[in-house]
Structure 1
């Protein structure tokens, strides 16, 4: 996907998140984020947007995410929309050769922040949908596969991943739908151990050995792996305890 595509997805999903939050009500529970109410969801996402936007000016050192949401619920929607708009405009105006701090591999820092914030906002848009009880707006297979790749080959190869096993095990994640971009992998083989997972991208997963295989459409896999979807909607074969491990330990 191109950076412009991620920025457009970020724009759309941020606007939807705000709309759903207002309709749901600030005190409504968010089923996909136990312990959170809608105000917590909006405060978190809005604070992340402002944190990310701060790097677009060229900040080269990591800074902590600080909650800066207003205490007054009546001001929350406008505050969120202002920060979201600042982030979208900052990404749109940023130079291609932007230099700033990042924390996952990417072609450029600009590509990193556009991608990361698109997926951050997309997942939390789903949270707002679930709080409202609204009909789910589907992700494209291309976007979903990219989000799977970021999660598996980006976040979970880092030392902080808690998806670990006492004995070596393998988990195969396989998308069953096609996408126009043939450069995207169709499957990911996770080699689990007492260390952080090793992830192998596969263009052709046929014949890849695995203790557990999870198959399904890209969008359904995306939601399940980010703990926003149901594994009952997927085809799980082999050792299902690895799926339970993922549910328990994969939060990032």
Structure 2
């Protein structure tokens, strides 16, 4: 088995997408989100975000991009806004488009490597571009499932989202971070391991096709992984793996070998 060192969220060596690609993906996924919600019932609850109506989800996307832009431009902390307070304007398409473009512009203006505030400590400005891209991608799927329209995520985009999800959960599972997501503390363990294996991501430098996650009493560790045995192995396309790990699709969409109860426990406590 070959491993690379355990990674911090500020380490970009395992990003599948560079800053230019993240910027393009944010614009593309925002456009896809817009297309998915255009003909849907905005007053109906979103099945994969049951506490929200579709109009709240639309408001959240436009509001979130602007909130992140302000953080990037000022570098300072900002309280998380309430999506219920974000009423989409009449030109909601332009509003969503301008929000995504504004975040991209903010990152390029201040510099992608410039440290700014984040909820896990100072990080390069690209942190927010990456966070926005993957959150928008998941909500694009939420909207597509709600509207019963087809969707397809590029494998490298989905794989990068898996890496980011693991990086965030690693930090949220630390004892010092329990106040942010208390349930993430239950992801700590006694050495249990889970392999996540993609079946459709091509091999190239700095591309991860499999991850080995270990649960310890102090928190989570994860490593890019090229083989070996784990307590549970989850495999499938990068898209399906991401959507299962993000609790948008049931585990039956992927192959699960070994102790399935470990996967179900992970899913129960890993929602961001």
Give the TM interval when normalised to the shorter protein.
Answer: 0.7 to 0.9
Aligned position for 1:149: 163
Structure 1 residues 27 and 95, CA, compared in 2 at 3 Å: closer, same or farther?
same
Aligned position for 1:112: 127
**Contact 2:58–2:88 (8 Å) recurs in 1:** no
Task: Give the length in aligned residue pairs.
Answer: 246
Q: Give the alignment of 1:32-181 within 5 angstroms.
A: 32-59=48-75, 61-67=76-82, 69-71=85-87, 74=90, 79-103=95-119, 109-136=124-151, 138-158=152-172, 159=174, 160=178, 161-164=184-187, 167-181=190-204
Residue 182 in structure 1 maps to residue 202 in structure 2 = no
Cα displacement (A) at 1:177: 2.5
Residue 215 in structure 1 maps to residue 235 in structure 2 = yes
**Contact 1:157–1:198 (8 Å) recurs in 2:** no
Cα displacement (A) at 1:141: 1.8
Cα displacement (A) at 1:87: 2.0
Deviates more, 1:1-10 or 1:81-90: 81-90
| SS at 1:197 equivalent | strand
- CA–CA separation in structure 2 for the residues paired with 1:41 and 1:135: 19
**Contact 2:196–2:210 (8 Å) recurs in 1:** yes
Structure 1 residues 25 and 77, CA, compared in 2 at 3 Å: closer, same or farther?
farther
Structure 1 residues 82 and 221, CA, compared in 2 at 3 Å: closer, same or farther?
same
CA RMSD of aligned residues (A): 2.6
- TM-score, L = length of structure 1: 0.85
Aligned position for 1:191: 214
Cα displacement (A) at 1:199: 1.4
Unaligned runs of 5+ in 2: 1-16, 179-183
Structure 1 residues 71 and 114, CA, compared in 2 at 3 Å: closer, same or farther?
closer
Aligned position for 2:4: none
Aligned position for 2:266: 246
Cα displacement (A) at 1:30: 0.9
Unaligned runs of 5+ in 1: none
Aligned position for 1:31: 47
Structure with larger RCO (C-alpha < 8 A, sep 6+): 2
**Contact 2:103–2:129 (8 Å) recurs in 1:** no
In the TM superposition, what whole-angstrom CA distance separates every residue of 1:139-183 from its partner, at most 9, and x where no partner exists? 222111111111113333432434425644211111122325332
Deviates more, 1:4-13 or 1:64-73: 64-73
In the TM superposition, what whole-angstrom CA distance separates every residue of 1:45-101 from its partner, at most 9, and x where no partner exists? 222211100122132x32211136444775655544443332233334443453322
